[in-house]
């Protein structure tokens, strides 16, 4: 396995994340990590404590990364916040009802209409026309709202415009008034003209039946967001966090419990992802943003927040300095969320794969495919003989492929309320070599304990 000379003086981007120890040790560089990491294994196998937590801690610590984290499960929120605190970072938790919200609309009707398209997900062929109709209508309503004033460009106004005819008529009058005061060839004038033309030439020409079908598709998207706590956090014009703050090192955690907010979670996660991806892509075009800080996009329990558009986006954000770190229950659980060929394409985006114990046949088949070029080193049959603190790793470090069983010590950050150790919680703390200045001073000495984490 490959090593690196340890030095704390390296620039954050040149440090690495170390997995394992002694003879089974891999040092993944920032570049290796932008080839994205997927951690697989059954529930309780160790994905979060043995791989996700230690890797995230090193990314925030040594690599100095900003982070955008999707956490469908509540335990992970507490763990991530603690990991961020230990790395001397501010974590912002955004969940339904929280005071700070996330800016889900980009401000461009064309871009936002595409987000909506994604959020509506896969539809049967028979519904495709209604879906296209809904997206076109949403785009033109957003244009109308934008033309009336940026303060109208919110989910609430969008919903009112779509479903309250009187409100729509009033806004249209306002937009038309604004239009008269504008320079004829300006972009704003064009935006309003488009919106008004769409309504006159198309929307109002549709049969009542067609309009009903389109309205139904729109309500499927906007209806789940009509929840008091969701409205408070995501749809009002309020105290919003810009995703750009990840470039300053902020750790943003988006927590929408899947069990409570099923279809709303799907819509919000998908839109938040699109916002994040667009922000990453636009980084280079904006010299005011930090251009070099690594950013991690972390997804715990990916099967609960996977979307179709990830497949393309994971490939694109790589060149913008984004490392994707995901855990998933198993390949089967991904197949149950998206069609097979989409999942297979999504899996292609993860070069670095870490397997914990599992009896999921689809996961074992993936392990088999990943490692058949290096027979003997690791194989599905060896998986069952591993201890709890071991994982099968299929990694690419520089130009080298590494297939090995790697010891991964747990990073427990919060007490285990369910496990046997619940009566005597252990809370060892990560040690970040070369990161002394950035540590949180609170109760530092008495809480420090040794772990296997090192920054090479």
Ligand X SMILES: Nc1ncnc2c1ncn2[C@@H]1O[C@H](COP(=O)(O)OP(=O)(O)O)[C@@H](O)[C@H]1O
Interface segment toward Mg ion; rule CB under 5 A; list 46-54, 140-148, 216-224, 344-352: 46-54
452 lies in the binding site for Mg ion (CB under 5 A): no
**Strand bridging mode 91-94 / 251-254:** parallel
Neighbours of 207 (CB within 10 A): 8
Binding at 168: pick from Mg ion, ligand X, none (beta carbon under 5-8 Å per type): none
Nearer Cβ to ligand X (11/426): 426
> Could you tell me the smallest distance in angstroms from the CB atom of residue 163 to ligand X?
42
Binding at 421: pick from Mg ion, ligand X, none (beta carbon under 5-8 Å per type): ligand X
Which segments of 127-237 does DSSP mark as H helices, in order? 128-148, 155-163, 165-180, 187-201, 208-222, 228-230
> Could you tell me the smallest distance in angstroms from the CB atom of residue 123 to ligand X?
32
Nearer Cβ to ligand X (259/426): 426
Nearer Cβ to ligand X (152/355): 355
Residues ≥6 apart with Cβ < 8 Å to 28? 16, 17, 18, 19, 37, 352, 395, 397
Contact 351, 326 (CB under 8 A): no
* Residue that has been written with the tokens 């197949």 in this structure: 335
Nearer Cβ to ligand X (79/244): 79
> Could you tell me the smallest distance in angstroms from the CB atom of residue 410 to ligand X?
6
Structure tokens at 129: 């026309």
Binding at 169: pick from Mg ion, ligand X, none (beta carbon under 5-8 Å per type): none
Nearer Cβ to Mg ion (15/47): 47
Binding site for ligand X (CB under 6 A): 41, 43-50, 412, 414-416, 418-419, 421, 426
Name the DSSP letter for residue 152.
G
270 lies in the binding site for Mg ion (CB under 5 A): no
> Could you tell me the smallest distance in angstroms from the CB atom of residue 43 to Mg ion?
7
Residues ≥6 apart with Cβ < 8 Å to 13? 30, 63, 292, 294
405 φ/ψ angles, rounded to the nearest 5 degrees = -85, 120
Binding at 316: pick from Mg ion, ligand X, none (beta carbon under 5-8 Å per type): none
48 lies in the binding site for Mg ion (CB under 5 A): yes
What SS3 class is residue 324? strand
> Could you tell me the smallest distance in angstroms from the CB atom of residue 383 to ligand X?
14
Binding at 434: pick from Mg ion, ligand X, none (beta carbon under 5-8 Å per type): none
Q: Which pairs from 181-189 meet CB under 8 Å and 24+ separation?
A: 188/147
Nearer Cβ to Mg ion (73/439): 73
**Closest by alpha carbon to 275, among 301, 292, 249, 254?**
254
- Residue 170, Cβ density class (10 Å: 0-12 exposed, 13-18 middle, ≥19 buried): middle
* Residue that has been written with the tokens 């800080």 in this structure: 293
Contact 140, 194 (CB under 8 A): yes
Tell me how far apart the alpha carbons of residues 295 and 251 are, in angstroms, rounded to a whole number: 9
> Could you tell me the smallest distance in angstroms from the CB atom of residue 39 to Mg ion?
9
Binding at 412: pick from Mg ion, ligand X, none (beta carbon under 5-8 Å per type): ligand X
> Could you tell me the smallest distance in angstroms from the CB atom of residue 365 to ligand X?
20
Binding at 43: pick from Mg ion, ligand X, none (beta carbon under 5-8 Å per type): ligand X
Binding at 103: pick from Mg ion, ligand X, none (beta carbon under 5-8 Å per type): none
Binding at 419: pick from Mg ion, ligand X, none (beta carbon under 5-8 Å per type): ligand X
Binding at 107: pick from Mg ion, ligand X, none (beta carbon under 5-8 Å per type): none
> Could you tell me the smallest distance in angstroms from the CB atom of residue 415 to ligand X?
5
Nearer Cβ to ligand X (43/205): 43
> Could you tell me the smallest distance in angstroms from the CB atom of residue 324 to ligand X?
17
Contact 45, 3 (CB under 8 A): no
> Could you tell me the smallest distance in angstroms from the CB atom of residue 412 to ligand X?
3
In the bound complex, which residue of the shown chain has the CB atom lying closest to Mg ion?
48
Residues ≥6 apart with Cβ < 8 Å to 252? 67, 68, 69, 91, 92, 94, 102, 241, 243, 245, 246
Q: Which residues pair with 298 in a beta bridge?
A: 69, 325
Count of residues that interact with Mg ion, criterion CB under 5 A = 2
Where along the sequence are the contacts to Mg ion (CB under 5 A)? 47-48
């Amino acid at each position: 396995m490959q090593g690196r000379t340890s030095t704390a003086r390296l620039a954050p981007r040149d440090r690495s994340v170390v997995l394992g120890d002694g003879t089974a040790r891999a040092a993944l560089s920032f570049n290796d990590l932008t080839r994205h990491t997927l951690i697989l294994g059954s529930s309780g196998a160790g994905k979060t404590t043995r791989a996700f937590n230690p890797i995230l801690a090193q990314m925030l610590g040594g690599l100095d990364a900003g982070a955008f984290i999707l956490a469908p499960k509540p335990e992970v929120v507490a763990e991530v916040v603690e990991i961020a605190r230990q790395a001397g970072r501010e974590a912002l938790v955004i969940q339904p009802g929280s005071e700070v919200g996330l800016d889900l609309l980009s401000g461009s009707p064309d871009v936002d209409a595409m987000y909506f398209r994604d959020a509506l997900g896969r539809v049967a062929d028979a519904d495709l026309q209604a879906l296209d109709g809904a997206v076109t209508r949403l785009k033109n309503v957003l244009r109308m709202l934008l033309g009336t004033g940026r303060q109208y460009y919110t989910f609430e106004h969008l919903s009112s415009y779509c479903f309250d005819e009187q409100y729509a008529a009033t806004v249209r009058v306002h937009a038309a008034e604004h239009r008269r005061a504008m320079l004829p060839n300006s972009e704003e004038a064009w935006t309003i003209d488009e919106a008004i033309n769409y309504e006159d030439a198309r929307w109002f020409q549709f049969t009542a039946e067609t309009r009903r079908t389109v309205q139904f598709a729109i309500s499927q998207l906007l209806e789940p967001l009509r929840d008091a706590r969701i409205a408070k956090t995501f749809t009002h014009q309020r105290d919003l966090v810009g995703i750009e703050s990840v470039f300053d090192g902020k750790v943003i955690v988006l927590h929408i419990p899947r069990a409570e907010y099923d279809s709303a979670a799907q819509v919000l996660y998908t839109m938040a992802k699109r916002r994040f991806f667009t922000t990453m892509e636009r980084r280079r075009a904006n010299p005011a943003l930090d251009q070099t800080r690594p950013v991690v996009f972390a997804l715990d329990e990916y099967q609960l927040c996977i979307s179709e558009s990830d497949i393309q986006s994971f490939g694109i954000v790589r060149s913008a300095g984004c490392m994707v770190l995901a855990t998933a229950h198993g390949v089967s659980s991904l197949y149950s969320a998206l069609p097979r060929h989409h999942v297979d394409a999504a899996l292609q985006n993860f070069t670095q794969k870490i397997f914990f114990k599992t009896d999921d046949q689809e996961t074992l088949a993936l392990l088999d495919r990943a490692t058949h070029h290096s027979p003997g080193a690791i194989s599905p049959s060896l998986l069952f003989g591993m201890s709890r603190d071991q994982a099968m790793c299929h990694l690419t470090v520089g130009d080298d492929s590494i297939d090995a069983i790697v010891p991964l010590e747990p990073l427990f950050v919060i007490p285990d309320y369910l496990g046997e150790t619940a009566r005597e919680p252990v809370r060892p703390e990560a040690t970040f070599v070369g990161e002394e200045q950035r540590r949180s001073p609170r109760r530092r000495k008495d809480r420090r304990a040794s772990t296997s984490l090192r920054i090479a």
